[in-house]
Amino acid sequence: MIDRRAFLQGAAALGATFYASAPALALSGRTLTHPLAIAMWDFSWLERHWSGAGYEDWDLALDDLKRRGYDAVRIDAFPHFLAADPEREWELIPCWNQEMWGSPAINRVRVQPHLNEFITKCAQRNILVAFSTWWREDPDNIRMRIKTPRDLAEVWRKTLDSITKANPLDRILYVDLSNEFCIPIWTPWIAAGTKRNSAEGARWIRESIAHLKQAYPNIVCTFSFTDEFDTWRDQDVGMLDFLELHLWMTSLSDFYNQVDYHFEEFDPKGYNNIQKRAETLYRSDPAKWQASLCKGIDQLAEWSRVSGKPLITTECWSLVNYKDWPLLNWNWIKELCEIGVRRAASTGRWSAMATSNFCGPQFVGMWRDVDWHRRLTDVIHQAKLPTTAWGS
């Protein structure tokens, strides 16, 4: 099992000398040399398997990921489905039809044996796998069986049990027990209005991790966050092995209000307004919007320094939502993302980071710029690591 204090002085990227022994990473106590470049493939890795969806050929997608310089990938492990019946075919209800993550229509998936097959293919390329979940909805809504922190831990215990039948734990980078805790769309099983910085929110985090670590005492655990950053000094994060924080230029600015975009997931008017206004607004005063992004990055770095917790960010830097669409250019998105990567890398607080929300094959305009990805993953790899070890 992992010695977490020795495991990754922060997470770190896989240098040439490490690649030869990558399967021994998590069990070896090896201290790595530089941060990881990580991509978020969410639930798309399993859902987007129709022709042209981007993930129908895992070998091709993973070879392309490697060619762009990425060392790790964050995916949805669908733990509630694995806990209920790992080999059942599950029907999925779309959470949107305007976005390119996952499926825009009803779809069906079978988690096992596909999850273990995917992890094995990643291991063959020395790509580490991080787990999260967006609690995808099925017609029976079995995610709502989660009533307590122990229930939350139990679905993850069963998930890890299922995975370790075919894959050693050293292929798992970490477990994020619930994406963006506790935003209602992603945590429907917790009482509406619950804040993370509350006794109830803290209880869910503390107790679920404690229960999971009774079964897997050395698994690296966290919850990812995307809000309540203004109260970070009041938040107890001692139970987290690291901070998984999501940040965009829009997080600390009124950019979306000025564009009149409000996350319209089933209505095209949101993207219509992005088409009409977003790039024009950014180009009218790029320094202003870049400053908002950098302010947020500096705030997260300060949280990391004060708490002594390394940082990982897998969703980041420009807009939350974007896609290949008429009148939507990628150049200004890439410009903002490059500023974000360079600023975050300069702080020495990130153990791993993404280059954007859009580092996957379904975002064709972003994905095909191989040189851009290579340039930014090189920046990530050349950054300093936090001095604080995971789990301290």
Contacts of 210-213 with CB under 8 Å at 24 or more apart are: 210/153, 210/239, 211/149, 211/150, 211/152, 211/153, 211/154, 211/157, 212/153, 212/156, 212/157, 212/175, 212/177
| Residues listed for the chain | 392
Residue 151 CB partners (closer than 8 Å, separation 6+): 145
The string of pLDDT tens digits covering residues 312-361 is 999 999 999 999 999 999 999 999 999 999 999 999 999 999 999 999 99
Q: Which CATH superfamily is domain 16-382 in?
A: Glycosidases (3.20.20.80)
Comparing CA positions, the residue from 183, 171, 89, 84 lying closest to residue 130 is 171
Residue spans of the domains in the chain: they are 16-382
Taking Cα atoms as reference points, which of 114, 117, 89, 92 lies closest to residue 103?
92
The rounded mean pLDDT for the chain is 91
387 confidence band (pLDDT: 50, 70, 90): confident
Does the pLDDT of residue 202 top 80, yes or no? yes
Q: How large a percentage of the chain has pLDDT more than 70?
A: 91
In the three-class reduction of DSSP (H, G, I as helix; E, B as strand; rest coil), residue 121 is classed as helix
Gap between the Cα atoms of 281 and 319, Å rounded:
13
Per-residue CA distances from 366 to 1, 95, 324 (Å): 38, 23, 9
Distance CA 245, CA 187 (A): 16
* pLDDT computed for residue 231 by the predictor: 95
pLDDT at 146: 98
pLDDT in tens, 251-285: 999 999 999 999 999 999 999 999 999 999 999 99
Q: Round to whole Å and give the CA distance between 43 and 349.
A: 28
Give me the mean pLDDT over the 93-98 stretch: 98
Give dist(CA 359, CA 362) in Å, integer: 9
Confidence of residue 218 (pLDDT cuts 50, 70, 90): confident
Distance, in Å, from the CA atom of 83 to the CA atom of 212, rounded to the nearest integer, reads 14
CA dist., res. 206 & res. 149, Å (int): 8
Upper half-sphere CA count for residue 93 (Cβ side, 13 Å): 9
Distance CA 180, CA 246 (A): 8
- Which pLDDT belongs to residue 8? 40
More confident position, 283 or 28: 283
Q: How many Cβ atoms are within 10 Å of 213's Cβ, its own excluded? A: 18
Q: How far is CA 74 from CA 131, 246, 315, in A?
A: 6, 13, 10
Task: State both tokens at 111.
Answer: 């988690």
- Does an H or E element contain 248, and which? strand 247-248
